Amino acid sequence: MEKIKIVIAGPRGRMGKEAVKMVHSIDNFELVSVIDHKHDGKMLNELVDFTQYGNTPVFSNIEECLQKSGADVLVDLTTPEFGYIHTKTALQYGVRPVVGTTGFTEDQLKELKTLAEEKDIGCIIAPNFAIGAVLMMKFSQIAAKYFNNVEIIELHHDQKLDAPSGTAIKTAEMISSVREKKEQGHSNEKETITGARGANKDGMHIHSVRLPGLIAHQQVLFGADGQGLTIRHDSYNRASFMSGVKLSIETVMNVGTLIYGLENIID
């Protein structure tokens, strides 16, 4: 079987390190280069924490990287700003993006979807790569058909830049697709401190917690007369995301459009 040639953008990040480790552990994956803005021209094994990984070239410029690497797939684990640029550039070069960066706008997603379909190549953007988190979202969507009152609490480490998380936003979007829009709480409720009720999405409230020691956690709370239902997922380390990255790499090779969310490729 021919190996899938992979570029990883953001290898020194916490997710990036796990992705490098995962790619090296899969027989039919080959890491052909990485993109890192600080170490252009070096080899990956010259970087701290990567001495065991061989002579994989490091590029700072994505176009140069894609021109020279012969990559099939770009795995982007950077930031929303660079994630969008990297995804668009990869599609233009005929390289299939697998993106774990959140924060894309609806207009950006539409633009990238159009480009992917013009090129007839796959692109997968996933707010969360943990299979359990995707199941949590799917289960919440099912529950929302029967429980109209719902709030989302997402908890992450204190270095996370965006709030609410992409997973929380995606969960709310999935719930909204089956839930009649409803403003929750008392009609005359008043926040005595601004933001106390969290963000509002179609009447649902989303609360973001940021504390050191956390990784990625979310609970979806449903309430009805005389009963409650809580659906919760916890990622205790970043290895929890790698099964979804692997699945996305394998899947993106066989589709010709943009897929937003792992729930669309999990039966």
> Could you report the average pLDDT of every consecutive run of 10 residues in the chain (267 residues)?
93 93 96 92 87 90 96 93 94 97 88 97 93 95 96 96 91 95 91 96 96 97 97 94 96 97 87
Q: Burial letters for 151-179: b for 16+ Cβ neighbours within 10 Å, e otherwise?
A: bbbbbbeeebeeebbbbbbbbbbbbbeeb
CA atoms within a 13 Å half-sphere pointing along the CA-CB vector of 36: 22
What's the confidence (pLDDT) of residue 186?
92
Q: What is the reported pTM? A: 0.83
pLDDT of residue 154: 98
pLDDT for 79: 85
Q: Which pLDDT score is estimated for 161?
A: 85
Which one from 39, 119, 156, 233 is the annotated catalytic residue?
156
**Model pLDDT, residue 81:** 82
156 a catalytic residue: yes
φ/ψ bin of 201: left (φ > 0), alpha (ψ from -120 to 50), beta (otherwise): beta
CA distances from 165 to 50, 192, 217, 233, 263 (A): 29, 25, 10, 14, 17
> Active-site residue 160, yes or no?
yes
